[in-house]
Structure 1
């Protein structure tokens, strides 16, 4: 069940304030710690808790926390603690007071190029650290980038799809794509992946920020190019 406001975790160490958001796997809450400081707490949602493979989902979720904890960088959301409540693993993280870039662009429209590039450079630097730790984020997109309310800092969030990788080695990964932001190799469980996999998502994110449009999917682009047709991706300067 969804935790209601004033629900206490860890014998009162954390108090739930409200739900921040829910995705296909997880749900994130705003809470306060014993000092009254806001924190974000992420755990598995009700749909996942009802699945037969819930124990495996729990293990994957715990691995997400461990992966994220290794990636120390000012533009990667910081894990504070991994806890258990009612046999459910939870990740406590720094609370980012801001909004995601997907919502921002939807509301305000395309960003100025200089502002968009500043965020992309910050997230690109964060991804460099993620890759140095041997991980791929695999879901870089505007919805997974929070911008603080001062608009100066962008932070990469949601490492639920992150996986270890070995450069130039063919590995089996679960299929998961965000259309428009996922490169062609993410449509094939056995394709080679590397840092370039996240770079594609980062480039697609830049496109979305300066055009306020989701770029053409990698499969559509591949289909056209393989048949000798022009790339259907509209150049940013011609978009809109």
Structure 2
């Protein structure tokens, strides 16, 4: 109750028990008709809303999600409000220990709010960014938990649509996983095309076409497991995933195989249900836990049987010894003359060779000194510290508004932000995938007949290696 209160309009901190903001005079109480809530900390700011930590009048802590009524036209406003209300209706009826509980929803002075359990913990994306590839046994155990909550959603014909390490929290108190952000969840309608929503790299091909199915959640879970086991986020520009054992050779073949099957591009080749994937996970865990077979016993040496007695040989018949051979046999005359001719011929050839090539026998060539050997040092481990660095850019993009949907405009800005980070901070090993938030815009900067310039401010907290991190303009 002694916490400072955050203004919903200007985000200025105010003293406890204050009714109106000291800076902009905005009402600090949310939902005056009750139950009443207060914002205490900004967690994430977006273009059309934000996520806060808040409390009620009794001091209980909640997560409060806000949607701002900042839309450029009536169609955009109606679509955003419909998605927000669908998320409210969905969370209101969900009851699972791995999903934050719904508490309230209301609108307050042009802002729409959703109140949920506040989960104290860390996102798996932060954990893998800090520690690199995570232990295989732990990841398989987490995957079993995620299968349980996805199976619960699929039994109610709901598709989560946003499985990725950013949306999975590791609760500090229990060590269990919690699934957050149901803004992309939809009711499964076979062969019905919906708007494309999700995160590039974790989305399967059919989700790009707006035909999300239950197998789409299986693909996203496979991409999440690949990220956790390898320490490498997926490439948002392709569907290619390197075999896990080429990145981390200690991973078991069963684990590599089940992740590869979950990431099949064709839905028919993936696991056909979360239950089938969970069975493969249980088998992979059992294979890892099974001890190595003991060595085969060595057969004991058998005693060697004693040889049978041999009958005595009959006494030899005595014969007179043969006459000894002569001590020296003189060579014949023909052999002697042939030998003399061969030796004479060889001597003449040798003498002629010495006269023709004297340098081959009488020139001294000292041996060349050996070349110095220099040891090539092996690269050691990168000991530079990892620093979570906040990066913000003002970006301008030129697009054809008649051909570019509003959601695709956001994705263009996100890709441009990630590319700029990789160039400006190349010395500090930035991650290949960066998920920024919009702190302002996109808004129209300049408009012509066919091309419109949009400007937006994006911000992200990125893990970088090094002590003297540059600050590009």
The TM-score range, normalised by the shorter chain, is 0.7 to 0.9
Q: Gaps (5+ residues) in structure 1? A: 222-231
Give the conservation status (yes or no) of the 8 Å contact 2:158–2:188: yes
1:34/1:74 CA distance change after superposition, 3 Å: same
Indicate yes or no: 2:131 matched with 1:108: yes
Scaled by the length of structure 2, the TM-score of the pair is 0.44
- Give, in angstroms, the shift of residue 22 of structure 1: 3.2
Indicate yes or no: 2:213 matched with 1:194: yes
181, 184, 197: which one aligns with 2:205: 184
1:87/1:133 CA distance change after superposition, 3 Å: farther
1:173/1:25 CA distance change after superposition, 3 Å: farther
CA distance in 1, matches of 2:242, 2:173: 32
CA distance in 2, matches of 1:58, 1:132: 26
Give the conservation status (yes or no) of the 8 Å contact 1:181–1:200: yes
- Give, in angstroms, the shift of residue 8 of structure 1: 2.1
- Give, in angstroms, the shift of residue 4 of structure 1: 4.1
- Other-structure match for 1:226: none
Match of 2:42, SS state, is strand
Structure 1 window deviating more from structure 2 (9-18 vs 199-208): it is: 9-18
- Give, in angstroms, the shift of residue 177 of structure 1: 3.5
Aligned residues: 223
Scaled by the length of structure 1, the TM-score of the pair is 0.84
Indicate yes or no: 2:193 matched with 1:172: yes
Structure 1 window deviating more from structure 2 (62-71 vs 18-27): it is: 18-27
User: Larger radius of gyration, structure 1 or 2?
Assistant: 2
- Other-structure match for 2:245: 237
Deviations 1:22-47 (A, max 9, x none): 346541100011111110000125xx
132, 135, 159: which one aligns with 2:182: 159
39, 42, 49: which one aligns with 2:70: 49
Superposed CA RMSD: 2.1
1:124/1:3 CA distance change after superposition, 3 Å: farther
CA distance in 2, matches of 1:25, 1:133: 29
1:24/1:141 CA distance change after superposition, 3 Å: farther
1:211/1:38 CA distance change after superposition, 3 Å: same
1:83/1:111 CA distance change after superposition, 3 Å: same
